[in-house]
Structure 1
Amino acid sequence: MTDAKKDYFPALTGLRAVAAALVYVHHYNPFSPARFGWRIHNLAAETHIGVTVFFVLSGFLIGYRYLGRRVALRTYFANRVARIYPMYLLLTTLVFALLHYREGLPFSLGEYLLNITFLRGLFEQYVYSGIAQGWSLTVEEMFYLSAPLAFGLLQRSRQWLWALPLALVMLGAGLVVLCRPLQWHGFFGSFDFLFQFTYLGRAIEFFVGVGLAWWLRRTGTAHAPRGLTSAGMVGMLFCLGVLSLLHGPTEGSFGVFTPAGMFINNVALPVLGIAPLLWGLVGEATWVRRLLSSRLLALLGRSSYVFYLIHVGAVRHLLYQWIGSSVLTALSLWLVSILLYKMVEEPLNRWLRCVLQGSPATAPVLMPQ
């Protein structure tokens, strides 16, 4: 069996679809306070936790795939670029074109460059420009860039599992203190921005996933204690419930905007909910794993990246104008995502990997002994 097959967990692919669906519910909350009451509305409003699921899952998968192995850095970065960049570049360009030619907005080359280089996620002024939800890709890309160095440090000492995210948070806090008075396009302009939108503020989520991967690699088995899947789901529901209780009395006053909510979302949720769930899905035979491993959920999971990119913004707006039904628009978005995945994303992914990969000397990215 190849390493790629050993490192593939079908249930985690299905989990991507669930995470994307949670983010969609957050953006298009179907439970109005007038009809369903504030309690149900607030629960649905906090399903932005799907982004946290993505971050912890990324940390786990990158850690599980590369910890303890010699990896050609060129191959590593080629895989990351081929996976993320082509669809993002195409759809970002499409969005800017639609905004300019259809909406009549002036084209800003600087803003476009900030978007296609992922730098816009460092500036509060531009964080929602282009593909609004694409800010999270800046966070992901910064983790991908730093992972080889982080894994090299883990080779020397496991203490870096907690020291690195702490150091990154402290670095982010220092940048806010230094840059906030400058008011330079919102570059690290506030602590709220730091902990909501930047890798430095959200590094703990990734390192919880890396820590789980490190533990499973170190023990040499993915077998999970009985009931861990259920415990993880309960932990996630508990954190979601607390976030909903922290939600303010008006729409849009999300619980995650409060200091306690940021701690719940960035620390407690990964530790108490997502990490146990991931371990359970990897190492425990349950109906949840069977469901998430199904062909339908696997397909939706593989196309979830495209879905995430188009579920808010111009593409969704055009579909809704044409269809006129929220439910049918959501189903159409999934259908379009599957088509784009099969016809554009996956072919481009394979082609770009072939173009970018070479045969350089391998660099060690190792797990500590």
Structure 2
Amino acid sequence: MTELTTDHETYPGLDSLRGIAAIMVVGTHVAFWAGHYTHGILGAMTSRLDLGVAFFFVLSGFLLGHPFLLAMAEQRQLPATGRYLWKRALRIVPLAVIVTVAALALLDDNAGATLGTWVRNLTLTALYIDGTLPAGLTHMWSLATEIAFYLVLPILMWAFARLLCRRGWNPRGIYLALAALCVVNVVWLVEVAPHRIGAGQWLPAYLSWFSVGLAYAVMTIERRRPGGRDRYQFWTTLAAMPGTCWVLALALFAIAATPIGGPILLQAPTHTEAVSKNLLYAVIAGLIVLPSVLGPTTGTRYARLMGNRVLRHVGHISYGIFCLHLIVLHAVSSQLDLPVFQGNGWQLFGATLAVTLVLSEIAYRVVERPSMRLKNLRISRSKTHAAAAATDATTHH
């Protein structure tokens, strides 16, 4: 995979953050399996490593929203929705299908899965039908939510272009719209999520996280415009101090691990707890992502660290890590005879991560990269048809 890019810049640090986020997700699930959540403040912090999902959502908002927003700023036509969705499908669907089939077919806990279970999970719609997910696939709720964002994004960007930027680039209007999405997020958590099974994991419950990424996309566009660096001096100064960003993020993370962030096990949170955790995660993820978006991408120790080839490669295979790790966790715990809630967290984490990294590397080379080579297939076909039509017209003329 090449560097994460927008139209004019590259952001190598975002690869590394994606790898860190994937490992955090592995860590929180292993800690749950080992029964570590209830072991004091450190155990509570392992329960909050699901923060990795917030990283993924912020990154998606930034990287996927940027091309649309840049087109608005430059008064160009928005990117073609068909091509955008084709690339997203190639990126997500092949490995998701393989992992779903493997989990349903190989895990004993899923023996006797009905046809309906297969259909709901292969289409990633279980979250919206009965709210339950089978063993080895419980983490796929976040993929279903991310796909919902993929589908909504072109509509949202069309609305921004038509309603907010019709007479020219309007960053203030976009910021206000993103703030409104955050309000929708809060209202959803308070008024809808408690009354509908699974609704707390639907897209509206995470609009604040995606909005942070979209806001960063606007900032990167704005700072290249005349006077942009002066208008965003606070943000660029903060981004140039990654140590400060991380310290602030860790302090907020510690707060999120207290009862302010809600229960550490699977009990339903109160309205206040749900909103507090959601917004804390948005701010924490925003602080961690900020230096790699608005800060220097070369020439500093932090930039060199985040641009490390090994760490970036972990980011390249992070989708495989995310998809595969729960199946591996089930298999490893069975092979090593490490029952659920019986401790051995470090042993279980080391074995699970090692096996997952190997399988993810294989998946990256055998499934993901070959699939992404098809991203220009539709364009190639269109060019072929256009060339044939031109030749035919010339011949007849």
Contact 1:310 1:333 in 2 (8 A): yes
Choose which of 207, 223, 237 in structure 1 pairs with 2:250: 237
Residue identity opposite 2:278 in structure 1: N
Residue identity opposite 2:285 in structure 1: I
1:334 paired residue number: 357
Contact 1:31 1:44 in 2 (8 A): no
The 2-side partners of 1:172 and 1:266 are apart by 9
Distance 1:244 1:6, change over 3 A: same
Q: Could you report, residue by residue, the CA deviation over 1:93-139 in whole angstroms, capped at 9, with x for unpaired residues? A: 1211214xx56721311121111222112245424566111110111
Distance 1:213 1:4, change over 3 A: closer
Contact 2:54 2:282 in 1 (8 A): yes
The 2-side partners of 1:36 and 1:163 are apart by 37
Are residues 1:270 and 2:310 paired? no
1:44 paired residue number: 46
Contact 2:321 2:360 in 1 (8 A): yes
Residue identity opposite 2:98 in structure 1: L
Contact 1:67 1:214 in 2 (8 A): yes
Contact 2:62 2:215 in 1 (8 A): yes
Unaligned runs of 5+ in 1: 181-187, 361-369
Distance 1:60 1:317, change over 3 A: same
> Mapping of 1:19-38 within 5 angstroms?
19-29=21-31, 38=40
Of stretches 197-206 and 283-292 in structure 1, the one that deviates more from structure 2 is: 283-292
The 2-side partners of 1:104 and 1:3 are apart by 40
Structure 1 position 172, deviation (Å) = 7.3
> Mapping of 1:102-117 within 5 angstroms?
105-117=111-123
Distance 1:247 1:211, change over 3 A: closer
Residue identity opposite 2:365 in structure 1: K
The 1-side partners of 2:333 and 2:321 are apart by 15
2:179 paired residue number: 162
Choose which of 239, 242, 246 in structure 1 pairs with 2:259: 246
Unaligned runs of 5+ in 2: 72-77, 165-172, 230-234, 338-346, 384-397
Distance 1:163 1:2, change over 3 A: closer
Contact 1:29 1:44 in 2 (8 A): yes
Contact 1:7 1:65 in 2 (8 A): no
- Matched residue SS, 1:8: coil
The 1-side partners of 2:181 and 2:25 are apart by 28
2:295 paired residue number: 284
TM-score where L is the length of structure 2: 0.75
> Mapping of 1:69-218 within 5 angstroms?
69=71, 70-99=78-107, 105-123=111-129, 125-128=131-134, 131-155=137-161, 156=164, 157-158=173-174, 159-167=176-184, 170=187, 180=195, 188-189=196-197, 193-195=198-200, 197-218=201-222
Choose which of 17, 24, 37 in structure 2 pairs with 1:15: 17
Give the paired residue count: 341
The 1-side partners of 2:336 and 2:148 are apart by 38
Of stretches 103-112 and 338-347 in structure 1, the one that deviates more from structure 2 is: 103-112
The 2-side partners of 1:265 and 1:283 are apart by 25
- Matched residue SS, 2:258: helix
Structure 1 position 5, deviation (Å) = 6.9
Structure 1 position 10, deviation (Å) = 1.1
Q: Percent identity?
A: 23
2:322 paired residue number: 308
Distance 1:18 1:3, change over 3 A: closer
Contact 1:247 1:253 in 2 (8 A): no
